[in-house]
Chain A
Amino acid sequence: MITRKLFLRFPKCETEKPIVYHLVKDYNLIINIFRAKVTANEEGYLVLDVTGREEDIDRGMDFVRSFQVTIDPVNKGVRWDPQRCTHCGNCISHCPTHALHIVDPASREIGFQEELCIECLNCLENCPFGACSSAF
């Protein structure tokens, strides 16, 4: 069993199909949706973890692609900009999963481990320097 964090982008027209249902039912995948913005007649987004056997995940993703849903390998739901981060550490006490964490206790440098991010968006609200942003 492996887990992959995925960023799905739905074109305008395909948002009514029960894609997630089929991923669970037909491909034996465990789905953990972090965040979704799927509105009729607008481009939609879904950030989720899928857990299952690697071949089931691959088949499931082929199924998803057949609806013109794109699996964006680069895009992340929450982005942390190391250029804007001042390493103040204000986000640390608001990040529930330690996705934002102290890399080096001596220098107090902050790092972002995207796989741990559950997209709660606390850091967006609490970063005084605008270093955290959302793709949607």
Chain B
Amino acid sequence: MKTYDEINERIASGRAVVVTAEEVIDYVDSRGLERSAAEIDVVTTATFGPMCSSGCFLNFGHSTPRIRMTEAWIDDVAVYTGVAAVDVYLGATELRHNDPANMDYPGRFEFGGGHVIERLVAGKALQLFALSYGTSDYPRREIRTWFTIRDLNQAIMVNPRNCYQNYNVAVNASDKRIYTYMGLLEPNLANCTYCSAGQLSPLLNDPFYETIGIGTAVWLAGARGHVYAEGTQHAPSCRRTDEGLPTEGGGTLALTADMKEMRPEFVRGVSLPGYGVSLALGIAIPIPILDAEVLRRTTVRDRDIRAPVVDYSRDYPEMTGRTLGHVTYEELRSGEVRIEGRRVKVGSLSSYHAARRCAHLLREEVRAGRFPLAPPLRPLPREQGMQGLRITGEPR
């Protein structure tokens, strides 16, 4: 048994034993659980993939004379101005003004909110254009200017849903191509796409949210951030394996961090033909090894984690709840899986390679004493489902 304080003391002294959620598997295999639990202080978990529910609040500071922005665009991508005068919210999935979307199907969606966020974090010069109706105290009615992230007072990422605990494997059982947020799916189960870091993924290494809770310090694309709430659609009361690993979406996290501290390689705009734009993020979360049970859960392997196979031509859009069975991440990583008796080629939208880099970078931060852990202020809900939207013609 160790406490957060003891672990933080070891981190501060630069003596903490830190391994990644991949390295811990062999470590525990060779030294045994009890001995490893006494030795290891922190296991770093990570993920990298598109997280559509990402966005940020930006504060521009006041111009002379002042403007209270009522409509605004950054690099031609609309931002939300229904907040204070020169605060705006920029969302990852916003399309560029005049994007033809799917009018010429499939649309290419080469640039949108996610790409603006990528350019912002990369320190590029962006163009702001804003309009207003003008008031006595905010007389300016139009502004057009170039800026970089350094010119902003605040650039704070606020992502209501990141780090899905587990995720669907998308297939297409119809006889036509479909374009989805899981990429191009060829007809008749010709290919499938998954999106999870599997054995490295934060919430698969802490399936019951014993250490990751509201207030937990996270490494969000290189910046020290926090879990600020349960993620939207957090649904811990999902189907699970005997070991407690979700076999569907499960839990999610709401994360925030300062974009000025982020590393551009882990903040990347995403274009999905026929679907739209998004943002991919690299996230790493440290797990304190408080006892042997917490450690044991971090030794989860790809072969233990099962993902549901979902038909995105019918079952996903129609919310039927049907799955075409489950496959493990070990099977997925082999490049080919069997679904309904067919051999299906596998692609992925998440990057294990990038997730691994995030886990390594956080490991180095913790080892160097630069990343103290923050105990949760409040646990995440451990029991709750998720409801659909009922469409009614009258108020209830």
Complex-state Cα separation, A128 to B48, whole angstroms: 13
Task: Write the A7-43 contact mask toward B (1 if CB under 8 angstroms, else 0).
Answer: 0000000000000000000000000000000000000
Complex-state Cα separation, A128 to B272, whole angstroms: 6
Residues on A with beta carbons closer than 8 Å to the beta carbon of B280: 86, 88, 128-129
Contact of B333 among A87, A93, A108, A129 (CB under 8 A): A108
Contact of B191 among A93, A107, A109 (CB under 8 A): A93
A interface, size bucket = 20 to 34
Complex-state Cα separation, A102 to B270, whole angstroms: 21
Query: If the complex has contacts A89-B347, A89-B348, are A128 and B270 also in contact, measured as CB distance less than 8 A?
Result: yes
Residues A86 and B191 in contact, CB atoms below 8 Å apart: no
Least distance between B17 CB and chain A CB atoms (Å): 22
Query: If the complex has contacts A125-B273, A129-B280, are A90 and B354 also in contact, measured as CB distance less than 8 A?
Result: no
Residues A87 and B270 in contact, CB atoms below 8 Å apart: no
Complex-state Cα separation, A86 to B49, whole angstroms: 9
Residues B353 and A109 in contact, CB atoms below 8 Å apart: yes
Name the residue on A nearest B192 (C-beta).
A93
Residues on A with beta carbons closer than 8 Å to the beta carbon of B49: 88
Query: If the complex has contacts A108-B333, A129-B280, are A90 and B268 also in contact, measured as CB distance less than 8 A?
Result: no
Residues A128 and B354 in contact, CB atoms below 8 Å apart: no
Q: Is the C-beta of A118 less than 8 angstroms from some C-beta in chain B?
A: no
Q: Is the C-beta of B335 less than 8 angstroms from some C-beta in chain A?
A: yes
Query: If the complex has contacts A90-B183, A108-B333, are A126 and B273 also in contact, measured as CB distance less than 8 A?
Result: yes
Complex-state Cα separation, A109 to B273, whole angstroms: 24
Complex-state Cα separation, A92 to B48, whole angstroms: 17
Complex-state Cα separation, A16 to B105, whole angstroms: 34
Residues on B with beta carbons closer than 8 Å to the beta carbon of A86: 48, 268, 280, 351, 353-354
Q: Is the C-beta of A110 less than 8 angstroms from some C-beta in chain B?
A: yes
Residues B353 and A87 in contact, CB atoms below 8 Å apart: yes
| Secondary structure of the B contact surface, majority rule | strand
Name the residue on A nearest B270 (C-beta).
A128
Residues on B with beta carbons closer than 8 Å to the beta carbon of A94: 184, 191, 347
Residues on A with beta carbons closer than 8 Å to the beta carbon of B184: 94, 125-126
| Residues of B22-59 whose CB lies within 8 A of A | 48-50
Query: If the complex has contacts A86-B48, A87-B354, are A93 and B272 also in contact, measured as CB distance less than 8 A?
Result: no
Q: Is the C-beta of B223 less than 8 angstroms from some C-beta in chain A?
A: no
Q: Is the C-beta of A91 less than 8 angstroms from some C-beta in chain B?
A: yes
Query: If the complex has contacts A86-B48, A92-B335, A94-B184, are A107 and B273 also in contact, measured as CB distance less than 8 A?
Result: no
Residues on B with beta carbons closer than 8 Å to the beta carbon of A102: 335
Complex-state Cα separation, A110 to B354, whole angstroms: 11
Least distance between A103 CB and chain B CB atoms (Å): 10
Q: Is the C-beta of B88 less than 8 angstroms from some C-beta in chain A?
A: no
Query: If the complex has contacts A90-B347, A90-B348, A93-B346, are A107 and B270 also in contact, measured as CB distance less than 8 A?
Result: no
Query: If the complex has contacts A86-B48, A94-B191, are A129 and B354 also in contact, measured as CB distance less than 8 A?
Result: no
Least distance between B175 CB and chain A CB atoms (Å): 19
Task: Write the B166-194 contact mask toward A (1 if CB under 8 angstroms, else 0).
Answer: 00000000000000000110000001110
Query: If the complex has contacts A126-B184, A128-B272, are A108 and B50 also in contact, measured as CB distance less than 8 A?
Result: no
Q: Is the C-beta of B210 less than 8 angstroms from some C-beta in chain A?
A: no
Name the residue on A nearest B277 (C-beta).
A128
Residues on A with beta carbons closer than 8 Å to the beta carbon of B356: 107-108
Contact of B349 among A90, A105, A107 (CB under 8 A): A90
Instruction: Give residues in A with beta carbon < 8 Å to B.
Output: 86-94, 102, 105, 107-110, 125-126, 128-130
For the complex with contacts A89-B352, A93-B345, A129-B268, 11 further pairs of A-B residues with Cβ separation under 8 Å are A87-B352, A88-B354, A89-B347, A90-B183, A91-B347, A93-B191, A102-B335, A125-B184, A128-B278, A129-B270, A129-B271
4 A-B pairs closest in CB distance: A87-B353, A93-B347, A93-B345, A108-B352
